[in-house]
Amino acid sequence: MGEVDQAFIQAVENRPKLDTIEIEGIPLIDLSISDTRDIKLLVSEIGNACKNWGFFQVINHGVPLELFTKINIAAKTFFDRPIEEKTKVKRDEVNSIGYHESEHTKNVRDWKEVFDFVLKDPSFLPASHEPEDKELKTLRNRWPENPPEFREVCQEYAREAEKLCYKLLELIALSLGLPSNRFHGYFDDHTALMRFNHYPPCPCPELALGVGRHKDAGALTIVAEDDVGGLQVKRKSDGVWVPVKPTPNALVINVGDTIQVWSNEAYESVEHRVVVNSERERFSFPVFFFPSHYVMVKPLEELVNEQNPAKYREYNFGKFFAARSRGDYKKLEVENIQIRDFKII
Ligand code: OGA
Ligand code: NI
């Protein structure tokens, strides 16, 4: 363990158990509709998966399958380049977009390197988490020179993923008894981000994590992954860490904090983490679908009443996100903000 920096070592209670166990996994949902599978059935499957797991996989999602091969090749080629080349597109505290190799989750360093880009270029977020500070910062994409097709592949995939995000939001709205377009207005100036994750082989997979346990802050996340595996979901029924089995051509979907609040906890944002292994590198590609920065997030009025009063006070999405992201760059003295800080009951 001599060669591994202490910053990567997880507290004992957060270390993963690496023995593989066969347990019931997250649901797999076919998004296609046919004579025998109507939209009602699909909507109820989505609703059950959101309620019971907060996580599911989808097939027949409409994202052209050749794009998965393309993003995998683009990612591998980029991360294989020398560090001097990758740091030419390095992110900084002003523009948090680009390459980054020392992310922290809950104050422990993650065993990974990442490349981020925004789906809308430019995107706007608050410059700081301070409530009085009205300044915005501009997020602009930085594109590496290699591979030459990198930018085009990213943009092509992102366009398809964005379409799928809206489709899933519609299904989720219907499953809550809302009109299908109920959420769309919150995404007019969305701040969605796509991330390339590269998890290199790790000499001490029992002590470190690729991503420490966390919840995603946005509305929903769509993850493409290769066949290595490593994502684990904390099962709602008993708190057991359940591995997500990579399924060919499927995407992993999870509900984020924003939907937890909008749905007044009908659906919860579930904790997840990524374990690494000593043999194989892994690539994964989340698209985080974040609302516009100015959206005030609160339980939807249609979903609250006297019997079921609002469980959260409203918060500004951009400020929340700015506060959450503070811990990504450096070790903070305290745990950063979570939606439970806005909980009323
Ligand atoms: C994340 C995340 C999952 C994965 O980046 O927030 O949860 O499989 N990633 O890489
Ligand atoms: Ni996540």
User: Identity (one letter) of the amino acid at 287?
Assistant: V
Q: What is the pTM of this model?
A: 0.94
255: which 2 tokens?
A: 């509900």
Q: Give nearest CA residue, ligand 1 atom 8.
A: 231
- Residue ranges of E strands in the chain: 28-30, 55-59, 98-100, 104-105, 108-109, 113-118, 123-126, 136-139, 193-199, 211-214, 220-225, 231-234, 241-243, 251-255, 272-274, 282-289, 296-297, 315-316
In this structure, the residue with its CA closest to atom 10 of ligand 1 is 284
Helix and strand counts by DSSP (H, E) for the chain? 6, 18
Read off the pLDDT of residues 282-337 as tens digits, 9 standing for 90 and up. 999 999 999 999 999 999 999 999 999 999 999 999 999 999 887 665 555 566 78
Ligand 1 centre distance from Cα of residue 274 (Å): 7
CA of 309 to the centre of ligand 2 (A): 29
Q: How far, in Å, is the centroid of ligand 2 from the Cα of 307?
A: 32
For a mutational test of ligand 1's pocket, the pick from 196, 253, 272, i.e. the residue with the most ligand atoms closer than 8 A to its C-beta, is: 272
CA distance 44 to 334: 40
Reported as a single tens digit per residue, the pLDDT across 170-220 is 999 999 999 999 999 999 999 999 999 999 999 999 999 999 999 999 999
Q: Can you tell me the distance from the alpha carbon of 124 to that of 135, in angstroms, rounded to the nearest whole number?
A: 10
Amino acid residing at 335: E
- Per-residue pLDDT tens digits for 77-105: 999 999 999 999 999 878 889 999 977 88
Q: How far is Cα 318 from Cα 194, in angstroms, rounded to an integer?
A: 17
Angle between helices 150-175 and 66-80 (to 10 degrees): 130
Query: Which ligand places an atom closest to the C-alpha of 252?
Result: 1
Which two tokens mark 300?
Answer: 């939807």
Plot region of 158 (φ>0 → left; ψ -120 to 50 → alpha; else → beta)? alpha
